[in-house]
Amino acid sequence: MSRDADRLSIGDVARVTGLGVHALRFFEREELFLRPIPRTAGGQRAYDRADVEWLLLCNRLRESGMPIATLRRFAHLVRSGPGNEPERLALLEEHERAVRDRIADLTASLEIIHGKVVTYRRHVQDGTAAGVWSPSP
């Protein structure tokens, strides 16, 4: 498509968001958009820049572990217009907390794993092998 700079086909949107046409249709069924996506005369989806911006935010939220159900709740809040900002804020704060917790967990695991790597590295370089993996906490 891309005849009109602000009328993007599903393929265009897939390309710029990295989401895949199947995923985009799925997102629509799941009510994750901020509006009903309008259609061309022939029935094909016509997205605009704002849809893409929203999808990019969705990508961030999804990649950082927000479940579809929560994203849908957020989309519904935004869709229903001004007045529920405290709820949106609470939802985002909750997610921010979850992401921070996840990073902390990963960092803790990373230390353990890095410790194992260091040990193996030393033993591989030494040609020493026995007991390397012995599971010491």
Partner DNA sequence: GTAGAATCTAGAGTGCAATCTAGGTCAAGC
Partner DNA sequence: GCTTGACCTAGATTGCACTCTAGATTCTAC
Q: Is 18 in the site for DNA (CB under 7 A)?
A: no
Q: Which residues on neighbouring strands pair with residue 45, listed in sequence order?
A: 39
In the DSSP assignment, the letter for residue 45 is B
52: closest CA among 71, 72, 69, 35? 35
Q: Which residues on neighbouring strands pair with residue 28, listed in sequence order?
A: none
In the range 99-128, which residues lie near its own copies by CB under 8 A?
99-100, 102-103, 105-107, 109-110, 112-114, 116-117, 120-121, 123-124
Q: Is 60 in the site for DNA (CB under 7 A)?
A: no
Phi, psi of 8 (to 5 degrees): -100, 140
Segment contacting its own copies by CB under 8 A, of 2-10, 11-19, 36-44, 75-83: 75-83
Cα 20 from Cα 11, distance rounded (Å)? 8
Least distance to its own copies, CB of residue 47, Å: 13
- Contacts with DNA by CB under 7 A lie at 1, 3, 9-12, 14, 20-23, 25-26, 39-45, 62, 67-69
